[in-house]
Amino acid sequence: MQELNIPKHIGIIMDGNGRWAQARNMNRTSGHKEGAKAVRKAITHARETGIKVLTLYAFSTENWSRPAQEVNAIMDMVGRYLSAETETMVKNGIKMKLIGDKSRFSGSLLRTINESEEKTKDCKDMILNIALNYGGRHELIRAMQSIASLVKDGDILPGDINEELVEKHLDTYGSGDCDLIIRTGGEKRISNFLMWQGAYSELYFSDVLWPDFDNEEFDKAINFYSSRQRRFGGLK
């Protein structure tokens, strides 16, 4: 049997929580709650499969337009998830990093995030990036702002700006390029996720709604990746 070519870095757009709940006459928050259970399963499976970086899109910069109750419920869920799971993450060697703009988070959520990042910072088995108030363009704008300050202060010249320097100023610094982006819920869009890191990602779209995304579905995506021949613009 041919050996599986496991992606190093997987990004997931977890779509379909609302529709999952609607189909069961439940409210959208119940869908997100069920989605959080799928998050836990996916993290465990990724680690056991040998994935080195898992980036989960939990809340986009555009999601603020949802009803306040839903926004609060998602934020709350992420906070509770981190409080409950940080010790397990430490035990399992998972380094958690929050990617996105932290400036709009409540004080208590921010404290929970910082504590979880601090406690897991030396973990080496897998990086878990949770994208919360994240947008790929916004991440690039923030990177450009930091780089522009360096130029303004005379620390670097415009000609010193290269891919390596841009990467250093991204929230995902240390995670590298994303090899595979999975989107559940049937839509075929990237929705401003990992705009820089996903430049050469393989794309896998699944009709399964996020709460139903289990290990078997995850393996289908990994097998899809494994069967692809990546050329990065060259010839094989």
Nearer to ligand FPP, 28 or 52 (CB): 28
Is 32 a residue that touches ligand FPP (CB under 6 A)? Answer: yes
Measure Cα distances from 35 to 38, 41, 107, 184, 186 in Å. 5, 10, 24, 11, 16
Stretch that binds ligand FPP, among 29-37, 104-112, 134-142, 218-226 (CB under 6 A): 29-37
Please report which residue ranges of the chain form alpha helices under DSSP H. 17-22, 28-49, 68-91, 107-120, 136-152, 163-168, 215-227
* Residues facing 126 on adjacent strands: 94
63 is catalytic: yes
- Residue 36 in contact with ligand FPP, rule: CB under 6 A: yes
Tell me how far CA of residue 176 lies from CA of 21, 88, 187, in angstroms. 35, 25, 26
Q: Is 135 in the site for ligand FPP (CB under 6 A)?
A: no
Q: Least distance from C-beta 86 to ligand FPP, angstroms?
A: 12
Examine the residue annotation and report whether 160 is marked as an active-site residue of this protein. no
Joined tokens for residue 114: 């910082």
Min dist CB 77 to ligand FPP, Å, is 5
* Calpha distance 74→33 (Å, rounded): 8
130 or 147: CB nearest ligand FPP: 130
Q: Which is nearer to ligand FPP, 74 or 89 (CB)?
A: 74
Q: Which residues are catalytically annotated?
A: 15, 63
Q: Which stretches of the chain bind ligand FPP, using CB under 6 A?
A: 14-19, 32, 35-36, 39, 56, 58-59, 63, 74, 77-78, 81, 130, 185
